[in-house]
Structure 1
């Protein structure tokens, strides 16, 4: 009997790539990272050009998250799979240390492919080791998060001289429940900003993503900036919603259901790369900059930071 070997291999490997390479444990996919430091997509709109993420995918389930497309490379979809099938890199700290040994010291963003303090961090506790590795190498870094779990590591972050950027794009809870269903509410994040400032952490707010025609009205922007200032943030970095591949399909499906009258206007506003009109973006960021001046905060991307002398290893407990 003749066997069709290629056909048998294909039949055996018809599962998503992640299921063939990862270990499923307690609802997470454990996948050994081949590299930790990755280039930040230009469409992300943040200051750093390089980033690392202990987790891929995010239980916050934010519709406009620009990292959604990364799940496609794992054989998963950029919608519900991104929200529920979280990939964990258990070797993140060891792999990062190896890469930092030859890193040139440029600032890194932490938590771009998935919030580094989402629920998975409660189980895996990767961030203390990540912070220690970055501090030991003298590499400046900014942690991006919406989660109060970051307070667990506030002392480590303060001693490392890290920045923390808490994402607060709007303070309207109706919008938050619709587009960030798994994330903490705005008030909880404002309280997080206050707690980080009190703990001595350099905290700023990433006012992102500002949603065209949904959260960009003058009164909405004013309310958001006013409450951010009252929480004690030192600076605001505004970013208008980006819709790269993966994110665009998921977001526009929701938009068609919830606000069908806006679909055509979004098509006019965004280019093929998922970037908003430059004129629109300049108008919105200009309004936010003016509000920041009124409320005494800096606005825009922070200045780049130089590498620091290598520090002694931070205690992880």
Structure 2
């Protein structure tokens, strides 16, 4: 998908929306902060040159009462999809997958304030920052909210589209239930929401850990497959009663080498139980499991 194909896809989404809507680009600018260099020598910290003269709002101003920072997500008003600004943002979206597009009747400051209400949260007595503006985890985060909170998020949003990590233009599904109550900041998450967010955080942490310490496991997988693989390793870890990143890395290595079925082999069941009971370490058992599976194959 090139820039023009992306813009045409967005035009198709906008064509079926109602009258009186404004199109916005929502950029997660944290990745661009600091003019960091990637391996090709390209700067991707210079958002200022892309957004010069653009009408924009900083979400952190409303979420945290902070001054605008390079790390704040930015809501950019687009008069249409035919100008140079829309084209430059489309290029960023394809390269870094950190942009989404929103159609809404609200003016920019009101929409920014609305979106900002879903960034700060409380997990019991702890504070947390959520990232519903980050296309890499946007669908996962929205899915963690209860139906009423999802509906509240969607209230002033008529359509929401983004480019995922596989380079595909997707449109989020709008919640059809009625919001339960007015949204206040910080969000006070109930137990079920906290449990879902903790599971999401664990999956992201494991994926990052495996990509860092054993990149060969993840390299053959697409971004979507990496998410599913990481979630499965946590599920297997729960069955083994192991939670540490080091032990889950061993689980991931076994799954990467032998597929997810390795844990269901009858001959391996006693070894699995020995880990669950604490009588031996997963690392020692992994060596034995690997030996048996290699002999079988």
Q: TM-score range by the shorter chain?
A: under 0.3
Scaled by the length of structure 1, what TM-score is found?
A: 0.24
Q: Which has the larger radius of gyration?
A: 2
Scaled by the length of structure 2, what TM-score is found?
A: 0.25
Q: Relative contact order, CA 8 A, sep 6+: which one is greater?
A: 1
Looking at secondary structure, tell me which structure has more helix per residue: 2
